[in-house]
Structure 1
Amino acid sequence: MDSYQRKMELTVIGTVKSPYKKKGEAPHQGRNSEELSQIIIMPEFEEGLEGVERYHQLFILYWFDRAEEPLLKVVPPGRKKKRGIFSTRGPPRPNPIGLTLVDLVKREGPVLTVRGLEALDGSPVLDIKPYLPDLDSV
């Protein structure tokens, strides 16, 4: 079996509750939006949120569950020429994983209220990581 054909299993840790219900409603870059969304963590993963309130910003990794079939070349918003998908943030990827840096507004139990998440309502959340300026800023 070729390495590019290997399959992996992921665990969904939560779900996005968002004002964006269908493709085209979400902004191209969530950081440019003041809209609030919620990330609802499944009960079996809530303990993993302990200490998250110490961070003002979080990276959210989620699945583009409504992305079209994977493409290797796309035309980015505002551009005219196609580019390789790996030089863009477009969703039609071989592994449609979204990555967004959000502002943490508050945590209430298993619910994180965040600003700047462009994920669609119902998107599966794969992981949450704190933004650490000394590591994440070049």
Structure 2
Amino acid sequence: MTSHNATDIGIATSAPEGVDGETGFGIRPGEVAVELPAAPDAGLYFIGRIRTPWKSRAECPKNSRESDAVCTVEIDPAFRPALEGLEGTTHLWLLYFMDRAPRNLVVQVPKTYGQGRGTFALRSPARPNPIAMSAVRLLGIEDGRLKVVGLDCLDGTPLLDIKPYFASTDCFPDAVVGWHRDREAGPS
């Protein structure tokens, strides 16, 4: 893989540095932002909203496995018939749209790692299409509302889709993210 810096490929990096107090996002030293296309390629339908206890990015868990908060997934009335057949299901994939995240970062410097990584090597909500997913434990369904555990998003986040979690096909215990493994191993 060839490594390029931002000026090699004509990417503007002159975005102001610092964190926005309202969104909790900003440009850190070493990060790279790009200009986005004028129009999106596809449309999506939000099928509901996710209700969580978190009102700011600083309050959100770093990832969905760090929280045992019971959250509510509110399905819009038109889409509630699609919940049929989920009774007895223990886990679901929720796909949601991190609508308050920046979409122009292609290199990010996570504060917990301090080293730049390409956006596609991270699970940050800041990405060209801020689609997030979590495997959640389903506690119950009532009146078009799902009670779940295992989310990491802001209150009011739009819901894109729900899929059943199949342990037989969704679990890869030997999966590895190279840079993360190398970081945990430490210097040789």
TM-score (norm 1): 0.92
Answer 1 or 2: higher relative contact order, Cα 8 Å, separation at least 6.
1
Residue 10 (structure 1) aligned with residue 44 (structure 2):
yes
Counterpart CA distance in 2 for 1:31 and 1:44 is 30
Aligned residue pairs total 135
TM-score (norm 2): 0.68
Structure with the greater alpha carbon radius of gyration: 2
Counterpart CA distance in 2 for 1:53 and 1:33 is 24
Can you list the C-alpha shifts for 1:33-64, whole angstroms capped at 9, x where unaligned?
A: 11111000000000000111222111110010
Q: Is the 8 A contact 2:140 2:146 kept in 1?
A: yes
Cross-structure match for 1:46: 80
Gaps of 5+ in 1: none
Give 1:1-138 correspondences, 5 Å limit.
Answer: 7-138=41-172
Q: Is the 8 A contact 2:103 2:129 kept in 1?
A: no
Cross-structure match for 2:22: none
The share of aligned pairs that are identical, in percent, is: 39
Q: Is the 8 A contact 1:23 1:66 kept in 2?
A: no
Q: Cα distance 1:87–1:57, how it changes in 2: closer, same or farther (>3 A)?
A: same
Runs of 4+ off more than 6 Å: none
Task: Report the CA distance between 1:6 and its aligned residue.
Answer: 5.3
